Amino acid sequence: MASTSDFRNGMVIEYNNDLYTIVQFQHVKPGKGAAFVRTKLKSVTSGKVIENTFAAGSKVIEARVERRPYQYLYKDDMGFIFMHSRTFEQITVNESMIENYDLLKEGQEVEIIVHADTENILSVELPHFVIMQITYTEPGVKGDTATNTIKPATIETGATVMVPLFINEGEKIKVDTRDKSYVERVK
């Protein structure tokens, strides 16, 4: 059991028969009345974000979750196949558990979050940034760099990323996996 004073961002708690990650919390002490903790919780299973208020000092059940290193191998009819980096055990993960799965490249290292008590896979976390090669994009026109205009580009995994006009086919770029955005060109 944990108290509201133990709250921290990223903590996973059991609430309403579901697992929630604390995205944001704030201790509030009004001038009149009892203190409380205002939280923003994200469901681990559905991804839905809710806001909730806990009375200060109330008890919650902290869920034990583990982050395990895995390597992405390939995709087949059953789902995505991952191999544990230390034990070489292979598991299959459904595509609904992977946010921005179209940025997965064979051999890429990821972290799989597992509920320690039930051994259920909760989610797959890609690294924050990946380096990808552009396989197709319209050529940029010389002198067209005065404004911050962007164009679509297809990367090696088949995903489409919006890039600046000066990026050409064959170049490598850094992509943010959280929002699928262009970060910078890589030499």
User: Which residues have C-beta within 8 Å of that of residue 106, sequence separation ≥ 6?
Assistant: 72, 73, 74
pLDDT digits (tens, 9 = 90+) for 92-106: 998 888 888 999 999
Higher-confidence residue of 58 and 140: namely 58
Q: How many alpha carbons lie under 13 Å from residue 82 in its C-beta half-sphere?
A: 28
pLDDT digits (tens, 9 = 90+) for 132-159: 999 999 887 666 666 778 899 999 999 9
Backbone angle region of 53, left / alpha / beta, with phi > 0 → left and psi within -120 to 50 → alpha:
beta
How far apart, in Å, are the Cα atoms of 28 and each of 2, 4, 24, 103? 18, 12, 13, 40
User: Amino acid identity, residue 95?
Assistant: E
- DSSP-based three-state secondary structure for 69: strand
pTM tops 0.75: yes
pLDDT digits (tens, 9 = 90+) for 109-132: 999 989 888 888 888 889 999 999
Name all domains of the chain by residue range, CATH numbers in brackets: 2-62 (2.30.30.30), 65-125 (2.40.50.140), 129-186 (2.40.50.140)
